[in-house]
Structure 1
Amino acid sequence: MTRKLRCYAVALGVTVALTLAGCGGSDDGGTTSANSKGLEKTTIKIGALPIPDPVSLYIAQAKGFFKEEGLTVEPTPITGGAVAVPMIESGQLDISQTNYVSTFAAVAGGKKIKLVADMYQAGANCFVIMVPSNSPIKTVADLKGKTIFVNNLNNIATLAVETQLKVAGLSKDDVKFAEKPFPEMGNAIKAGQADAGWITEPFITANQSANGFRKLADTMTGQTEDLPIAGWMATEEWVQKYPKTLAAFQRAIAKAQQLASSDRKEIEAMLPKYTKIDAKTASVITLGTYPSELNTNRLQKVADLMLEYGYLKSPIDVKSVIAAPASSG
């Protein structure tokens, strides 16, 4: 039975201060007309951020799950959703990590994108609003007229904070949002550039220990409880052109997701290999859940929230954005 892990996520769309370890792969161009699995393409490039969210990509690689499916996977570093969409559109990437807020916004803007697999779902204390220990701000209501740092504007960051402002009787117009990369938030807040910050691990722990910050509110509660955060995307054209290759990827990644969900030690062992999170930090950071399949009802929750808070102008039926699941064969 899948146990719920503690939570860590960083929304896609951020240039994070972590670097991807080198990952090898075939350089045969990725197309093979005949292979034992009957795949249309045997080498695929996968865009991913060097953070815990896509850990199953590396677990599947290390455990040979892709190899079992006849796939050679080349993990490719990306800096965020802004570059990921044009990279899959141009063919530089076959599949890429994405966050659902960015995905649905892109679809609403006319992009032909499909979600092909789930990756990460939030849990308690994965995104929190933090303030200095000596701050006069004691409740979310006290944020009125204050400046809040977020890693990206008009994304999961601001949406998550807005849901908590609403509970406190405030709206986005009652505060000022400003962008600041997670690694820089703590010192910038200490310097008086903002009053609070929307922060995730490992920066929550870092700011608690180094700067004495305290948590003001968990933004993954209420409307955002267990909110789906990130998944894998491809273009509609790619999905239609490489159905067997896609199914092979889906089966391998689902197997790795199940392993990540059931054994935290697998995640802890993998993180130091492709991120700058060391083994000690990996053993204590909070982690969330790694769903094995895309769930329409959960994802619809994201799109509906976006509509409610003005991130979408009209409703999106997320079922139309999800690619067919892998076959059992």
Structure 2
Amino acid sequence: MTRRLILPALLSTLAVVLAGCSGASDDGPADLSQVTLRVGDQAGIQQAVVEASGALEGTPYTVEWAQFPAAAPVLEALRGEAIDAGIAGDAPTLTALSSTDRIRIVEATRSPSQGGLALLVGQDSPIRSVADLRGKTVSPTTQGSIGHYLLLRSLEEAGVPPAEVNISFLQPVDAAAAMNSGAIDAWSTWDPYTAVAQQESGARILRDAEGLGTGLTFLNANTAALEDAGTRAALTDFTERYARALQWARENPQDNSAIYATLTGRPAAVADLMADRAQRATEPLSPELTAELQEVADRYVGYDVLRNPVDVASAMEDLGAPAP
């Protein structure tokens, strides 16, 4: 008889504990006024566009931005739960997904101009083709970045084995200085760094990303944020507001360019170029987009960049679906 009484009591206690861990509440929707959504950005660009558009007006939650020089540290902060969501391109997102199952893609955007992604050489460089990079030193910016992917795709297209190129991973500021001084022969990077190098240093585009990259950028979230009812609700709302901000940028090119001029302190020619190439729009997390990204993942595995294969479909999180 004693055992019959103990077992139901244990099961009842366990049910209470699991309900508490789920982040759900029987008292109604989460109180978003108590939620702070921490969003990782690169060089302040997306924050500036979102704020200038007024898209965050009236949010019942607080948005706290964190700035990073490139995607790799954004994703590292996301993995470590220092932020709840972060913006990064396709290649770095896949690099992160290959080493953790705690990150999900929650929103996709695409830039037709691929955000200025390009393989650059100095103004007076004798290098005229990707094939000329044999024996040269190239920085693809950070490891696993979109710059890294573009370099590897460009070398593959030109029939140059990566082993025949000296690859040096440098942060953007260091890479710019190294190319200007001749310490490296080429640099694979993206805006604002591409625009600045072109307009202020006369850098030439050796190969752009047309036909080689996807132009996709993602808003990623960690599973801790998605499992919390309040943070998930705030993130769902934020994705809609972010889409409106990008639409505002497309419809107000002059105002958008002014943002880049103020943010970078660069001349109008640099700001205009950056703003034009930054135009993007959201896309649904469709089977077609998933397949496209899976192709990039499989190529990255073939390049021996990813630690492990990535199943892209399992990393997609539809925020319109019920919370887990």
TM-score, normalising length: structure 1:
0.74
**283-292 vs 202-211, which moves further:** 202-211
Aligned residue pairs total 289
| Structure 2 equivalent of residue 240 of structure 1 | 227
| Structure 2 equivalent of residue 4 of structure 1 | none
Using the TM superposition, give the Cα deviation of residue 259 of structure 1 relative to its aligned residue in structure 2, in angstroms. Answer: 2.3
| Structure 1 equivalent of residue 38 of structure 2 | 45
Using the TM superposition, give the Cα deviation of residue 104 of structure 1 relative to its aligned residue in structure 2, in angstroms. Answer: 2.0
The reply on whether 1:143 has 2:133 as its aligned counterpart is yes
Of 131, 156, 166, 1:176 maps to 166
Deviation readout 1:77-112 (Å, 9 max, x if unpaired): 234445434534554322222333222222221341
The reply on whether 1:227 has 2:189 as its aligned counterpart is no
Correspondences of 1:206-221 after superposition (within 5 Å): 206-218=196-208, 220-221=209-210
Of 307, 318, 322, 2:316 maps to 322
Kindly provide the amino acid, as one letter, of the partner of residue 248 in structure 2: L
Correspondences of 1:120-159 after superposition (within 5 Å): 121=111, 123=113, 126-159=116-149
8 Å contact from structure 2 (residues 44, 67) kept in 1: no
| Structure 2 equivalent of residue 299 of structure 1 | 293
| Structure 2 equivalent of residue 308 of structure 1 | 302
Of 107, 115, 118, 2:108 maps to 118
The reply on whether 1:99 has 2:86 as its aligned counterpart is no
> Would the alpha carbon gap of residues 271 and 320 (structure 1) be closer, same or farther in structure 2, given more than 3 Å must change?
same
Kindly provide the amino acid, as one letter, of the partner of residue 220 in structure 2: M
| Structure 2 equivalent of residue 23 of structure 1 | none
8 Å contact from structure 1 (residues 148, 175) kept in 2: yes
Kindly provide the amino acid, as one letter, of the partner of residue 310 in structure 1: D
- Structure 1 residue runs of 5 or longer lacking an equivalent are 1-32
> Would the alpha carbon gap of residues 134 and 276 (structure 1) be closer, same or farther in structure 2, given more than 3 Å must change?
closer
Of 236, 243, 252, 1:254 maps to 243
8 Å contact from structure 1 (residues 37, 69) kept in 2: no
The structure richer in helix per residue is 2
Equivalent position SS for 1:319: helix
Query: What is the alpha-carbon root mean square deviation over aligned residues?
Result: 3.2
Kindly provide the amino acid, as one letter, of the partner of residue 240 in structure 1: E
Equivalent position SS for 2:57: helix
Equivalent position SS for 1:165: helix
Q: Which has the larger Rg?
A: 2
Equivalent position SS for 1:180: coil
Equivalent position SS for 2:168: strand
Kindly provide the amino acid, as one letter, of the partner of residue 109 in structure 1: S
Equivalent position SS for 2:220: strand
8 Å contact from structure 1 (residues 61, 73) kept in 2: no
TM-score, normalising length: structure 2:
0.75
Using the TM superposition, give the Cα deviation of residue 233 of structure 1 relative to its aligned residue in structure 2, in angstroms. Answer: 1.7
8 Å contact from structure 1 (residues 271, 282) kept in 2: yes
Specify which structure has the bigger relative contact order, considering alpha-carbon pairs within 8 angstroms and separated by 6 or more residues: 1
Distance 2:177 2:262 in 1: 28
Using the TM superposition, give the Cα deviation of residue 280 of structure 1 relative to its aligned residue in structure 2, in angstroms. Answer: 5.3
> Would the alpha carbon gap of residues 135 and 125 (structure 1) be closer, same or farther in structure 2, given more than 3 Å must change?
farther
Distance 1:69 1:191 in 2: 47
Kindly provide the amino acid, as one letter, of the partner of residue 186 in structure 2: A
Kindly provide the amino acid, as one letter, of the partner of residue 270 in structure 1: I
| Structure 1 equivalent of residue 271 of structure 2 | 282
